[in-house]
Amino acid sequence: MTKQFKLGLIINPVAGLGGSVGLKGSDNVTEEALALGAEPKSHKRTQAALEVLLPYKEQIQIFTPSGKMGQTLAEEMGFATQVVLTVGENTSPADTELTVKTLIEQGVDLILFAGGDGTARNVCSAVSDNTTVLGIPAGCKIHSGVYAITPKAAGRVVEMLINGELVTLSDADVMDIDESAFREGVVKAKRYGEMQVPSELRYVQAVKSGGKETDELVLADLSAYVVSEMEDDEYYVMGSGSTVAAIMDEMGLENTLLGVDVVLDQDVIAADCTAQQLIDLTKGKPTKIVITLIGGQGHIFGRGNQQLSPELIRQVGKENIIVVATKRKLQALNGRPLICDTGDSVLDDELSGFIKVVTGYNDHVMYAVGLEEEK
């Protein structure tokens, strides 16, 4: 059975209330807007996004707050729904922020939220660096780059993820304006941060030669990025394969092509390590595992890197696994998911879902992980 897509859903039920009644926003004017006859729109706009996903209902589980923040609509539309937070009738920004933190704890693959720039600010204040989000435009103010162009467009992006298509991850700005000043005719825009969002991959190569991607240059591009992101006093377990070897070469370090090395402060502190050596060396220390695809079937664990044992992987944590590969290498899989064959079926299941893959300099895609079995 195909691994279910874990979709976090947050609906701001008062988003957009002020627009239709001329209040130029909805922040702090909910009661006034309702008194003027405003009708909530976020429910319908979220429904438009989710309608795109109806053919995939069996492949999706929605994690959401109670009532009108998501549960009611998800259940009405027939999605498998798990309530992660009980909220009151009068919802607040604090409910959104707490939901985001809860969804992250649940390990959802994507947080889909409906609202405007105020909602985006609430999500941004609670989100983690490794969390991928996408906004359904439902507010009066949509200045932030974290929103799809339409509700249906948001559904299409999620559809691409479910179908295993390559979807680029981008950092998008969260913007908002001062509504009080705006009501006085003054526009004061401010940047409040950025969030990681999926965007449709355009297949425009950053490095070209005769119109085609040059693997050697792309690897250099990718390697330079990984090295630039390395932290001091952090251990890096460098897996097998030529892509990882290119990263080692970028640091000017000797590499065990068919083995596993450990790097600290851009220096090899242990070469060609055994599974037990890796466990002993990194236990209790901040550690990341750098791996690529091994073998022709898309294995990231269990082919050529058995030194990366289940105990080590659990010790390091899924959030500290860095997968690197060129887009050409991923496209060669023809949509097949990456495979974990650690020898521990429970761990393999825990590692399945969607993972960020580094494909170039500050260039990433979301890609499915997990063995797709016949039903």
* DSSP code string of 57-121: GGGEEEEEESGGGTHHHHHHTT-EEEEEE---SS--HHHHHHHHHHHHHHT-SEEEEEE-HHHHH
Instruction: Output the pLDDT for position 180.
Output: 58
Token pair of 64, please? 């959401």
SS3 category, 285: coil
Does the pTM of the predicted model rise above 0.85? Answer: no
Q: Is 129 exposed, middle or buried (0-12, 13-18, 19+ CB in 10 A)?
A: exposed
Higher pLDDT, 81 or 17: 81
Q: What is the pLDDT of residues 143-157, one digit of tens each?
A: 778 888 778 888 988
On average, the pLDDT of the chain sits at 84
- More confident: 23 or 265: 265
38, two tokens: 């405003």
Is the pLDDT at 289 greater than 80? The verdict is yes
Per-residue pLDDT at 178: 59
Give the Cα separation of 108 and 103 in Å (integer). Answer: 6
State residue 373's pLDDT score: 45
Strands (DSSP E) along the chain, which ranges? 5-11, 60-65, 80-85, 110-115, 133-137, 167-177, 189-200, 235-238, 261-264, 267-270, 287-291, 299-301, 321-324, 339-340, 353-360, 363-369
Tokens of 221: 């591009």
d(CA 362, CA 358): 8
Whether 139 has a pLDDT exceeding 90, the answer reads: no
210 falls in which pLDDT band (50, 70, 90)?
very low
Tell me the pLDDT tens digit for each residue of 344-360: 889 999 999 999 999 98
- Residues 183-195 have pLDDT tens digits of 454 555 677 889 9
pLDDT for 24: 38
Q: What single DSSP character describes residue 245?
A: H
**Whats the size of the chain, residue-wise?**
375
Contact at 8 Å (CB) between 64 and 8? yes
